[in-house]
Amino acid sequence: NAGKLGQKLGYAVYVVGGFVRDVLLKHPNTDVDLVVEGDGIAFAAAMTREMGGRYKAHPKFKTAVVVLPSGQRVDVATARLEYYEYPAALPTVELSSIKMDLYRRDFTVNALAVHLSPDRYGELVDFFGAQRDIKDRVLRVLHSLSFVEDPTRIVRAIRFSERFGFRIGGQTDRLIKNAVRHSFFHRLSGSRVFHELQLILEEKTPLACLRRMHDYKLLAAIHPLLALTPPRETVLMEVENVINWYRLLYIEPQPQAWLVYFLALCSGMDAEQFAVVGKRLNFSKRTAGDIATLRMRIRETAQGLFNWEYHKGPLSELYFLMEPLPVEGALFLMARNPREPLQKYVSLYLTTLRGKRLEITGNDLKGIGIAPGPDYTSILRRVRGSVIDGHAPCRAEQ
């Protein structure tokens, strides 16, 4: 046990943050964060010596990530003893390092710790009234400079408040509004904003979070082009329906939900406007290129589908139209075209056609004497088309 190991090294060890919060809230959480009063990196090294696995140290931050043989990830941080100089000749005060570590965190509910040291094992450490806040279902910052220190916490406040059904406390709400008024958000790097936005879009109820961001004028603060307009809200609502529908099908791999929501948040933008947003969010060349290409492919596929429907093409044509489009694009197409036949056809592709596998391969063609060559692709394509149109058996039907 980590506490015993800490004792051997002379360190107190705590499990902290989201893990403790989620235990109290009975929410699943597998991310374990430890704080060590001592040398976190030495502790991580000792942990892997004792339990196996590996670790990676970040000496600059005195932190380490341990991956145990089970695959369990454990983040280890170091709490240092800090000395506070008080003015007016008061003596320097030594504060318990775990208290300082917790005080630097974002919300009271995230500033809980549990002792792992054998002599105090399981004792809850609650300096800031977190248990009361959990009982009252309220999210509160620990001090009034929290959002100045880190404006991404504004978005985190919304994310946690929606996830747990907590209200944002009165003082915290005023501090958020003040932070937005003073444009703290403009100081934030694009990558950090994008990361927070991605986390929001991976939540169970992204639209509710986006509405709250809109109410605090945060989306426009990130970039005016990202404002939550009524048509966008409609698309986002449909995305939520489609994503929930698709999740229930349990088709692997699951889509990157954030991407489908993000496409919806950028709906109505032309290529130039999208490039501006990508710049603000500091997209890498690759991300910018990938999403721009996806947007273009979605448009082309929609066009293709309308044509296909108009001339009543065979199902195989639907299959070949949809095949190159990543699933995120297909889901977006469904959300973008609700109550139109197109939605039905994309869903037919996703649930049925896509799963049809061919029993024959290039080797079978070779077996019947067709010489290997570029023809293989086109022959296999024709056979696949024929299978889809119902002229030959396929695995999914057997």
Note the residues at the interface with ligand CTP (CB under 6 A).
17-18, 31, 33, 105-106, 110, 150, 152-153, 156
Residue with smaller CB distance to ligand CTP, 150 or 233: 150
**Least separation in angstroms between CB 108 and ligand CTP:** 10
Residue with smaller CB distance to ligand CTP, 185 or 274: 185
Residue at token pair 């919060």: 21
**Least separation in angstroms between CB 179 and ligand CTP:** 13
The contacts of residue 47 (CB under 8 Å, 6+ apart) are: 2, 5, 53, 55, 66, 74, 76
Structure tokens, 74:
């454990």
Residue with smaller CB distance to ligand CTP, 142 or 346: 142
**Least separation in angstroms between CB 222 and ligand CTP:** 16
Q: CA 62, CA 130: separation in Å to the nearest integer? A: 27
Residue with smaller CB distance to ligand CTP, 146 or 267: 146
CA 279 from centre of chain: 20
Residue with smaller CB distance to ligand CTP, 153 or 384: 153
Residue with smaller CB distance to ligand CTP, 150 or 173: 150
Residue at token pair 């404002």: 227
Of 238, 236, 109, 87, the residue nearest 165 (C-alpha): 109
**Least separation in angstroms between CB 200 and ligand CTP:** 10
**Least separation in angstroms between CB 148 and ligand CTP:** 12
Under DSSP, the state recorded for 184 is: G
Structure tokens, 127:
């300096």
Residue with smaller CB distance to ligand CTP, 33 or 133: 33
- Contact between 17 and 132 (Cβ < 8 Å): no
**In 3-state terms, what secondary structure has residue 93?**
strand
CA 182 from centre of chain: 28
Under DSSP, the state recorded for 209 is: H
**Least separation in angstroms between CB 242 and ligand CTP:** 24
Pairing between strand 167-168 and 138-139?
parallel
**Least separation in angstroms between CB 19 and ligand CTP:** 7
Give the phi and the psi of residue 361 in degrees, each rounded to 5.
-130, 180
Which residue minimizes CB distance to ligand CTP? 18
